[in-house]
């Protein structure tokens, strides 16, 4: 996973470094807009990883103790909603920067 994140980061930096100048009349991206989109992408990726881990742990917990399935499911859904709220906060911040 670490290699993937480093590769993705280096690809992003290389794309910025070797970008060509915009054509005449083309929209120019400011660094603030780019960073807003990049932060939203990172937040969404982190949300996906966190939700996957939460669901995996909940499924494992239900498999180990089927009698507690209702409590585990309720707690998992509340946790997933809170994780998703963090991405919504990043989206609002991205719109505020734009």
Q: Say what percent of the chain tops pLDDT 90.
A: 34
SS3 state at 28: coil
Rounded to the nearest angstrom, the gap between the alpha carbon of residue 84 and the centroid of all alpha carbons in its chain is 9
Res 25: pLDDT: 58
Does the pLDDT of residue 75 top 60, yes or no?
A: yes
Res 65: pLDDT: 93
Q: Which domains does the chain have, with CATH numbers?
A: 46-98 (1.20.20.10)
Residues 17 and 42: their CA atoms lie apart, in Å, by: 20
Q: Which residues contact 83 (CB under 8 A, 6 or more apart)?
A: 47, 50, 51, 54
pLDDT band, very low/low/confident/very high, at 62 (cuts 50, 70, 90): very high
């Amino acid at each position: 996973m670490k290699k993937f994140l480093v590769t993705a980061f280096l690809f992003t930096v290389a794309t910025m470094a070797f970008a060509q100048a915009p054509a005449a009349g083309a929209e120019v991206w400011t660094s603030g807009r780019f960073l807003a989109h990049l932060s939203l992408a990172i937040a969404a990726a982190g949300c996906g990883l966190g939700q996957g881990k939460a669901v995996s742990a909940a499924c494992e917990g239900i498999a180990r103790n089927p009698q507690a399935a209702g409590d585990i499911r309720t707690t998992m859904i509340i946790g997933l909603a809170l994780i998703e709220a963090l991405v919504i906060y990043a989206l609002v911040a991205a719109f505020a920067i734009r």
